[in-house]
Amino acid sequence: MSINRRKLLSMLGISPAVLAGAPAFGRAAKKGAPETAGRVEVLNPKGMPPEIHLIPMAPRLASLDGKTIYLVSDGFEGADRFLNQIAIWFKKNMPSVTTIYRLKAGGLAGDDPKLVAEIKAKGSAMIMAYGH
């Protein structure tokens, strides 16, 4: 059985020109340049990813009794109905908890500093419904 080297190399993602050496790339050797026959310089196409900075989770509340929970939607279809069901659950199972529904301005990626300030001033916790 004969193996077609060109097809095999192309299936592996390697150009057959790599095996031919530097002249196959159409570059003539410059005078005084270091000898590079048989070597190929490659670059990572992914680049260098930025450093990841971890943000710790918010501290947990010991209890929800008497607390105010903001139910915030980003405007995705159905999020309001889902958050309404959460409000109904709290009213039935934990009547001491106050729920407040708010629609976040700016959608998923937009900032809403006014809403954030309100939640920080009046709320104890927040449940955010992100759409997909």
From first to last of the 132 residues of the chain, give the pLDDT tens digit.
567 777 776 777 666 666 555 454 445 555 665 666 677 877 777 777 789 999 998 889 999 999 999 999 988 888 999 999 999 999 999 999 999 999 998 877 778 899 999 999 999 999 998 876
Amino acid identity, residue 110? Answer: G
Return the C-alpha torsion angle 123, 125, 131, 132, nearest 10: 150
Global pTM reads 0.58
Q: What are phi and psi of 9, to 5 degrees?
A: -65, -40
Mode of pairing for the β-strands spanning 98-103 and 68-73: parallel
Q: What angle do CA 89, 91, 93 make, to 5 degrees?
A: 60
How far, in whole angstroms, is CA 36 from its chain's centroid?
A: 41
Q: Could you tell me what percent of the chain has a pLDDT over 90? A: 42
Return the C-alpha torsion angle 12, 16, 22, 25, nearest 10: -100
